[in-house]
């Protein structure tokens, strides 16, 4: 049997658990001290007609996990993530690790985590799942990446702080390009409380420049507006509507099937691919750091300047 651990089974973690529960050759141990989250997770497994008692076990602490674990998902918020990694690797030997984003709230944590993973010889991926959507892979084949492209994400109240990294990641995938710079001079000069207690949110426009001249524009207003994604090339413009399930090219249907999968449909596929081949379509840790660090640096600088602070922690998740 395969030993799998899930740390954190809140709103997102329980969706990971729904997916992992599809694996019939795995024992899944879930670290979740909240009785409310445990009950929600159990209900969500049963909603899929899985008998979680057969191979899913809930514990309160990391020290109750097995000593050898094949695959771990850490689905907590960003704030405790590094300390969780430390505690996990002090307790158990881990082969493969999947982390939720945002990875960490301080720049120093990225370097420390990298050092830990290298010393423990652990392969790590970050869960930005759009790379697993077939329509983005198909779209990538159609693009001429030698010419600069502009991707624009527009809409209202879509979570600029916590979700920008998803679009940075998928644009990096589409262009095979690396982030050069993140520019925050068109953000609103005000910090807003996030929907998640204890975290902050930003509104306005972020620009992300990539090598080869590629540009990503992330535009989030405070009103509730649908999200639209456009990708402009030298030849024309793709308009991607994930919610409606269509892609148009120069205002004509591009005949690309758009199927957005939920997390509850994906995590077991990630685990099975990694356990079988030691590889994943998801972004590896080092590449993810190249995307996260410029974003965290710029937003942290903006946050400190806006609030007249000198903190090294950016409270986003």
Confidence band, pLDDT 50/70/90 cuts, at residue 49: low
In the sheet that holds 179-187, the strands lie side by side as 179-187, 204-210, 215-221, 150-156, 228-232, 237-241, 246-249, 252-253
3-class DSSP string for 39-94: HHHHHHHHHCCCCHHHCEEEECCHHHCCCEEEEEEECCCCCCHHHHHHHHHHHCEE
- pLDDT higher than threshold 70 for residue 136: yes
pLDDT band at residue 282 using 50, 70 and 90 as cut-offs:
very high
Q: What is the pTM of this model?
A: 0.96
User: 249-268 pLDDT, tens per residue?
Assistant: 999 999 999 999 999 999 99
The answer to whether residue 50 scores a pLDDT higher than 80 is no
pLDDT at 102 over 60: yes
Domains in the chain, ordered, with CATH?
2-128+266-281 (3.40.50.720), 134-260 (3.30.360.10)
Average confidence (pLDDT) over 140-168: 96
Tell me the average pLDDT across 188-194: 96
- What does DSSP say about strands 179-187 and 192-193: parallel, antiparallel, or unpaired? unpaired
Average pLDDT, the chain: 96
Closest CA relative to residue 238, chosen from 252, 259, 227: 252
Name the pLDDT band for 54 (thresholds 50, 70, 90): low
How many C-beta atoms lie closer than 10 Å to residue 96's C-beta?
Answer: 20
């Amino acid at each position: 049997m395969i030993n799998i651990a899930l740390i954190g089974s809140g709103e997102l973690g329980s969706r990971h658990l729904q997916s992992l529960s599809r694996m019939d050759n795995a024992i899944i141990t879930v670290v979740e001290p909240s009785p409310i989250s445990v009950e929600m997770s159990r209900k969500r497994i049963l909603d899929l007609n899985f008998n979680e008692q057969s191979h899913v076990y809930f514990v309160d602490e990391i020290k109750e996990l097995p000593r050898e674990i094949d695959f771990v998902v850490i689905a907590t918020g960003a704030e405790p993530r590094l300390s969780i990694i430390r505690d996990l690797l002090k307790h158990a030997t881990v082969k493969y690790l999947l982390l939720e984003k945002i990875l960490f709230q301080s720049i120093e944590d990225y370097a420390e985590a990298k050092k830990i993973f290298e010393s423990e010889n652990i392969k790590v991926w970050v869960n930005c799942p759009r790379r697993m959507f077939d329509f983005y892979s198909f779209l990538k084949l159609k693009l001429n990446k030698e010419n600069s492209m502009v991707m624009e994400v527009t809409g209202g109240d879509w979570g600029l702080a916590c979700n920008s990294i998803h679009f940075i990641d998928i644009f990096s995938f589409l262009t095979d390009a690396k982030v050069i710079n993140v520019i925050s001079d068109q953000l609103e000069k005000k910090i807003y409380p996030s929907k998640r207690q204890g975290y902050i949110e930003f509104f306005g426009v972020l620009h992300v420049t990539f090598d080869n001249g590629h540009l990503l524009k992330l535009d989030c207003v405070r009103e509730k507006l649908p999200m639209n994604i456009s990708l402009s090339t030298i030849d024309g413009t793709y308009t991607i509507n994930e919610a409606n399930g269509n892609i148009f090219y120069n205002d004509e249907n591009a005949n690309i099937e758009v199927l957005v999968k939920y997390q509850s449909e994906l995590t077991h596929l990630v685990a099975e691919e990694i356990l079988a081949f030691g590889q994943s379509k998801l972004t590896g840790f080092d590449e993810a750091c190249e995307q996260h660090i410029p974003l965290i640096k710029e937003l942290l600088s903006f946050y400190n300047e806006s609030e007249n602070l000198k903190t090294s922690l950016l409270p986003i998740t």
